[in-house]
């Protein structure tokens, strides 16, 4: 598997020096960068026509940890030493079998709705065009639920405007830090709050958002990410299932599996589950 990393500088107008960018409480400020929106569009050419998965969310919600644990074999403990992301990291995820897409890891500081305030439509288009799935990561332990929900809402509106086919996944992350009741409460609360916002925008029937609780300390992040990857593989899953079904019935087997060694992709027969295994 190859993981080529390209980076997009956070455009100048989205750094903390910009008064329209409200840094999150207690967050570190980004230092000034010589970059610009044009650099962002120039670098976009490195990801020609590959489907994109966008990884967004507030600072320290766990985006880069997720990316590294799943696709770079980093251990969960090592993620404690990751630096904050200052640029949009575009990671080319491609192996010789199934997976072939770009994963864009966004700095938590970058709020898309501020690009809209700046009327920077072309950058917003660059970000959302060709994007198949937008994963929004929320840390339920941090007391920033309202900020996260507002950011999620603003991001969804911008993404949907550019690309109505994009799918939305919310990972209520770090679930190892909360108990089972809190997990259920969190999903209920987040679903309710975001649906209410979408309703007031008249979009509740048009935008489908899936909520999942995840943690890099157990299998949940692999399961969640595999469901996301599955959405990129819709075209090949069905023929594979037919082949496996034929194989199973002709050999009188109960089940058959196909694994990919890294990131341990599993196709599971019969119930149409496709997973990335821990
Ligand atoms: N308990 C727990 N901590 C996690 C989990 N995932 C990530 N973390 C921790 O969360 C902290 C922030 O993680 P990052 O991956 O750097 O967060 P980020 O969203 O990329 O942050 P920015 O780069 O600032 O946008 C690190 O200390 C991680 O170890 C998780 O599932 N459980």
Q: What is the pLDDT of residue 31?
A: 33
Contacts of 261 (CB under 8 A, 6+ apart): none
Q: What is the pLDDT of residue 101?
A: 87
CB distance 217 to ligand 1 below 6 Å: yes
For the entire predicted model, the pTM comes to 0.79
Give distance in angstroms: CA of 67 to centre of ligand 1. Answer: 10
Angle ∠(182,186,188) on CA atoms, nearest 5? 120
Q: Which residue among 69, 82, 103, 278 has the greatest number of ligand 1 atoms within 8 angstroms of its CB, and so is best to mutate?
A: 82
Q: What is the pLDDT of residue 258?
A: 66
- In three-state secondary structure terms, 65 is helix
Residues 91 and 101: their CA atoms lie apart, in Å, by 8
Q: What is the pLDDT of residue 269?
A: 43
Atom 10 of ligand 1, nearest CA residue: 62
Of 122, 139, 37, nearest in space to 88 by CA: 37
User: Is the CATH number 3.40.50.300 carried by domain 2-225?
Assistant: yes
The tokens for 56 are: 């967004």
Reading the chain (278 residues) residue by residue, the pLDDT tens digits are 444 444 444 333 322 222 222 334 433 333 333 343 433 543 444 456 788 999 999 999 999 999 999 888 899 999 999 999 998 999 888 865 677 889 999 999 999 988 888 888 888 999 999 899 999 999 988 767 889 999 999 999 999 999 999 999 999 999 999 888 988 888 888 889 999 999 988 888 889 899 999 999 998 998 888 888 878 877 777 777 788 788 888 888 877 766 666 665 554 444 444 444 43
Cα distances (angstroms) measured from residue 5 to each of 8, 79, 103: 10, 18, 9
What is the per-residue burial (b if ≥16 Cβ within 10 Å, else e) of 200-238?
eeeeeeebebbbbbbbbbeebbbbbbbbbbbbbbeeebe
Give distance in angstroms: CA of 139 to centre of ligand 1. Answer: 9
Q: What is the pLDDT of residue 8?
A: 43
Q: What is the pLDDT of residue 16?
A: 23
The span from the first CA to the last CA of the chain, in angstroms, equals 17
CB distance 60 to ligand 1 below 6 Å: yes
Residue 256 DSSP one-character state = -
Q: What are the residue ranges spanned by the domains of the chain? A: 2-225, 234-276
Of 120, 232, 212, 223, nearest in space to 165 by CA: 232
User: Which residue carries 């770079």 as its tokens?
Assistant: 72
Atom 3 of ligand 1, nearest CA residue: 174
Q: What is the pLDDT of residue 214?
A: 95
CB distance 68 to ligand 1 below 6 Å: no
CB distance 61 to ligand 1 below 6 Å: yes
């Amino acid at each position: 598997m190859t993981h080529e990393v390209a980076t997009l500088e956070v455009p100048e107008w989205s750094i903390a020096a910009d008064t329209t960018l409200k840094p999150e409480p207690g967050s570190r400020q980004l230092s000034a960068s010589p970059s610009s929106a044009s650099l962002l569009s120039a670098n976009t050419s490195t990801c020609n026509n590959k489907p994109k998965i966008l990884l967004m969310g507030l600072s320290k919600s766990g985006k880069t940890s997720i990316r590294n644990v799943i696709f770079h074999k980093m251990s969960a403990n090592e993620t404690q030493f990751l630096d904050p992301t200052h640029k949009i990291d575009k990671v080319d995820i491609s192996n010789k079998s199934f997976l072939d897409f770009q994963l864009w890891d966004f700095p938590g500081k970058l709020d898309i709705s501020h690009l809209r305030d700046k009327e920077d439509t072309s950058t917003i288009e660059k970000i959302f065009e060709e994007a198949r799935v937008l994963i929004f990561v929320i840390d339920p332990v941090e007391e920033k639920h309202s900020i996260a929900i507002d950011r999620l809402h603003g991001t969804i509106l911008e993404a949907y405007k550019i690309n109505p086919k994009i799918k939305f996944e919310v990972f209520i992350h770090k679930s190892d830090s909360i108990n089972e009741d809190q997990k259920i409460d969190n999903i209920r609360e987040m679903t309710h709050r975001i649906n209410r916002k979408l309703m007031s925008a008249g979009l509740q029937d048009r935008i489908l958002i899936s909520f999942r609780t995840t943690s890099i300390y157990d299998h949940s992040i692999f399961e969640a990410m595999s469901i996301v990857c599955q959405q990129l593989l819709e075209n090949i899953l069905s023929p594979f299932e037919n082949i496996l079904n034929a194989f199973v019935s002709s050999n009188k087997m109960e089940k058959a599996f196909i694994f990919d060694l890294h990131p341990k992709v599993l196709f599971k027969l019969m119930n149409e589950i496709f997973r990335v295994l821990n």
